[in-house]
A and B are shown apart, each in its own frame.
Chain A
Amino acid sequence: EPEVTQTPSHQVTQMGQEVILRCVPISNHLYFYWYRQILGQKVEFLVSFYNNEISEKSEIFDDQFSVERPDGSNFTLKIRSTKLEDSAMYFCASSEGGRGTHEQYFGPGTRLTVT
């Protein structure tokens, strides 16, 4: 069965450094998402992406964050200058279509640790 994959599984970085988290969505999916989960807290929506542009973003997704689909397969989340509070599990998801009739398939996550 097709899966969403994410690399790396764990990333350690120093405060102020740039990180890029990578995701390969399911191949025929058209909608892409990033969520994060700070340890012990809720899973929070960051951004959704469709047709090569951001569809919606949350308050968390400020100017330090950006997303890109650099080729036909990868979907990346960049954090320009990491802060300690960016430490979290970051989940990528994709769906074939929009709205709730189409399941969002989640990747296994990337654990980001900012020191």
Chain B
Amino acid sequence: AQTVTQSQPEMSVQEAETVTLSCTYDTSENNYYLFWYKQPPSRQMILVIRQEAYKQQNATENRFSVNFQKAAKSFSLKISDSQLGDTAMYFCAFMGNDNAGNMLTFGGGTRLMVKP
């Protein structure tokens, strides 16, 4: 079974600064997908960024980028120029290519507070 671990329960960052959230995972599969989801205080989870394991290039979406280290099974999220609206829970998630049901396995989450 796959596991996803987020070792930082809480983090804070000053507005306009850069912050990196950590995520490690364990799997025996070679092809899979990794995601970062954001859950603002309103509770609706939103996809931030996605990485396909067969792609070596790190995914980037505007101020959000990932550092994907396949051998180390590490998938960190970097938020540049942090904004107050980035305050949220961030979940790292894994989807294997082998399961038929498109199941997402989530980490425990990191609560990010952006301070003015």
Known: A42-B108, A43-B91, A100-B35. A109 touches B43 (CB 8 A): yes
A95 at the interface (CB under 8 A from B): yes
Chain A residues near B99 (CB, 8 Å)?
Answer: 56
A75 at the interface (CB under 8 A from B): no
From 88 to 115 in chain A, residues with beta carbon under 8 angstroms from any chain B beta carbon are 89, 91, 95, 98-109
Chain B residues close to A by CB (< 8 Å): 32-33, 35, 37, 42-47, 50, 52, 91, 95, 97, 99-109
* B42 x A42 contact (CB < 8 A): no
* B101 x A55 contact (CB < 8 A): yes
* B106 x A44 contact (CB < 8 A): yes
Give A68 Cβ to nearest chain B Cβ, in Å. 17
Chain A residues close to B by CB (< 8 Å): 31, 33, 35, 41-45, 47-48, 55-58, 89, 91, 95, 98-109
The dominant DSSP class at the A interface is strand
Give B57 Cβ to nearest chain A Cβ, in Å. 16
* A58 x B106 contact (CB < 8 A): no
Chain A residues near B43 (CB, 8 Å)?
Answer: 89, 108-109
Give A15 Cβ to nearest chain B Cβ, in Å. 25
CA–CA, A109 to B100, complex, Å? 24
CA–CA, A33 to B101, complex, Å? 9
The one of B50, B91, B102 in contact with A95, judged by C-beta atoms closer than 8 angstroms, is: B102
Besides A48-B102, A56-B99, 14 more A-B contacts (Cβ < 8 Å) are: A31-B102, A43-B106, A55-B102, A56-B101, A56-B102, A58-B103, A91-B45, A95-B102, A100-B52, A101-B52, A103-B50, A106-B45, A107-B44, A108-B42
